Structure 1
Amino acid sequence: MNPTTSATLYADARARITTAVRDLGAADLQRLVPACPEWTVHNLVSHLAGGAADFVAGNLEGAPRPPWTAVQVDARRDRSIGGVLDEWATTGRQLEELILSGTTAHPMICNPYVDAGTHEADLHGVLGIGRPPREVWLATIDWIVDESGPLTVTTSDGVFYVSGDGPVAAVETSSYELFRALFGRRSAAQIESWAWSTPEHAAAWSAELPRLPQTPQDLAD
């Protein structure tokens, strides 16, 4: 990914999320996020701010596992949403500058739009703020899928290949559904409902395709 494009995708996601949540009332900030059922809206934004701070500081031990994100959330639990967003405005810009500097090749630091875009879609699921733009889905898919693999996924935007231990199979779905499924935001049943040309392989791939822990419930976003 071109550093300028990556930094721009991230900055734009940060701006959209900030606009969407800054003026929320206490009740909305305490709503649980279905895609992250242990987090409230406030917790999710705290993770985004804390993640940026950790990337800038080079604190990557344990990333992106739950103990790493839990520290970010806990540290900001008692802060106002305005305070969390103000912090993210500072650390987010620092992260964008770090990406543009070309001084790091760490894939998570260089592509923070992936996490931001995933959580923007999570917030859409609870607040109806709108899906992230199409370019975020496609950039994320391109970042995570491979040049070859046993699973061929065809969308209106092209053909993608997913590596894994599943059997050779082919399926058609939308780019947005693939984007959400790759990060565990689609249940096994939802993935199995895609248009499989090899339906006997749908169950094997329904658990193999997600790269993060998979939701047990059907999500609509």
Structure 2
Amino acid sequence: MAGDTDAAREWREAYERVSGLVATTQLRDPGALERAVPATPDWRARDLVAHMIGVGSDTLRDAVDDDLGEEWTQRHVEARRDRTVPELLEEWSELAPRIEEHVATTDPAPLGDVVIHEQDLRSALGTPGGRASGGLAMVREQMADTFGEGLGERGPVRLEATDEDWTWQSADGDPAVVLRASGFDLARAVTSRRTEEQLRSYVAAGDLGPFLDDFAGLGPLPTQALPE
């Protein structure tokens, strides 16, 4: 897989947003970093940050598990369990230039992890932001394409953003279902961050039922709406 200089720029900007948010929270309200993350309820906010750092570290060591499973992600948390938040941020700062270069020259995959989890973290901390980033738009397109690859012969799915000039359809022809929502909500939908009830509320035409499981590609759909 080839690298992507635009993705590298967006990775850097997302990293700076997240690390800045964590540093500010640590100074103003360190207890907030002990809150559970609605999208990953087994983790505290600081655990989610540890995972993001672990993804970068494993990427540079060519140690990313093929299945991206829970055992692999939990190792990131356990390996950093006893570190302070400043120590976590120091490790990430040391890794950041090399991760950015990796995204630019080798593989843009780390962008998806930091962009998706940025919103998960903001959800836990009650601090919206990054919704209109170029990185989120890039990840939305990538994840929509991945979603579309698994649809088979069940008919095209069409996504239409109500607040920006973005539409996407999985294949040519009349769509079997059309979803209309904000561009941000559609980005969260294709990354398994919207409930079945929310997804059904986006339906403008067709039957969503045959496609619900496809929206759970990154894990089970949440049972309660996430703040972000």
In structure 2, the partner of 1:218 is: 225
- Whether 2:166 is the aligned partner of 1:158: answer yes
* Match of residue 171, structure 1, among 160, 173, 179: 179
In structure 2, the partner of 1:115 is: 113
Q: Does the CA-based 8 Å contact 1:14-1:116 persist in structure 2?
A: yes
Closer, same or farther: CA 218–162 of 1 in aligned 2, 3 Å: farther
**TM-superposition CA deviations, 1:27-78 (whole Å, max 9, x none):** 2111001011111011000001111000000001245221111000100011
In structure 1, the partner of 2:152 is: none
Q: Which shows bigger deviation, 41-50 or 25-34?
A: 25-34
In structure 1, the partner of 2:51 is: 47
**TM-superposition CA deviations, 1:116-161 (whole Å, max 9, x none):** 1111111111212223242222111221223886111111322212
* Match of residue 188, structure 1, among 183, 189, 196: 196
SS at match of 2:187: helix
* Letter paired with 1:15: E
- Whether 2:208 is the aligned partner of 1:202: answer yes
Matches within 5 A, 1:8-19: 8-19=9-20
For 2:211 and 2:182, locate their aligned partners in 1 and report how far apart those are by CA, in whole Å: 16
SS at match of 1:196: strand
* Letter paired with 1:216: T
In structure 1, the partner of 2:21 is: 20
- Whether 2:97 is the aligned partner of 1:99: answer no
SS at match of 1:208: helix
Pairs aligned (count): 210
Tell me how large the CA RMSD over aligned residues is.
2.1
Query: 1:178 Cα shift?
Result: 1.1
In structure 1, the partner of 2:139 is: 140
* Letter paired with 2:6: T
Normalising to structure 1: TM-score of the pair? Answer: 0.86
Normalising to structure 2: TM-score of the pair? Answer: 0.84
- After the TM superposition, which segments of 4 or more aligned residues of structure 1 sit over 4 Å from their partners? none
For 1:182 and 1:154, locate their aligned partners in 2 and report how far apart those are by CA, in whole Å: 13
For 1:68 and 1:173, locate their aligned partners in 2 and report how far apart those are by CA, in whole Å: 33
* Letter paired with 2:103: I
**TM-superposition CA deviations, 1:102-124 (whole Å, max 9, x none):** 3x3xxxx4232211111111111
SS at match of 2:208: helix
Q: Which shows bigger deviation, 36-45 or 17-26?
A: 17-26
**TM-superposition CA deviations, 1:59-102 (whole Å, max 9, x none):** 012452211110001000110011111111111221111233x3
For 1:195 and 1:170, locate their aligned partners in 2 and report how far apart those are by CA, in whole Å: 6
For 1:203 and 1:80, locate their aligned partners in 2 and report how far apart those are by CA, in whole Å: 45
In structure 2, the partner of 1:3 is: 4
In structure 1, the partner of 2:127 is: 129
SS at match of 1:209: helix
Structure 1, unaligned runs of 5 or more: none
Identical pairs, percent: 26
In structure 1, the partner of 2:85 is: 81
Closer, same or farther: CA 172–152 of 1 in aligned 2, 3 Å: same
For 1:168 and 1:216, locate their aligned partners in 2 and report how far apart those are by CA, in whole Å: 25
For 1:78 and 1:191, locate their aligned partners in 2 and report how far apart those are by CA, in whole Å: 39
Q: Which shows bigger deviation, 17-26 or 69-78?
A: 17-26
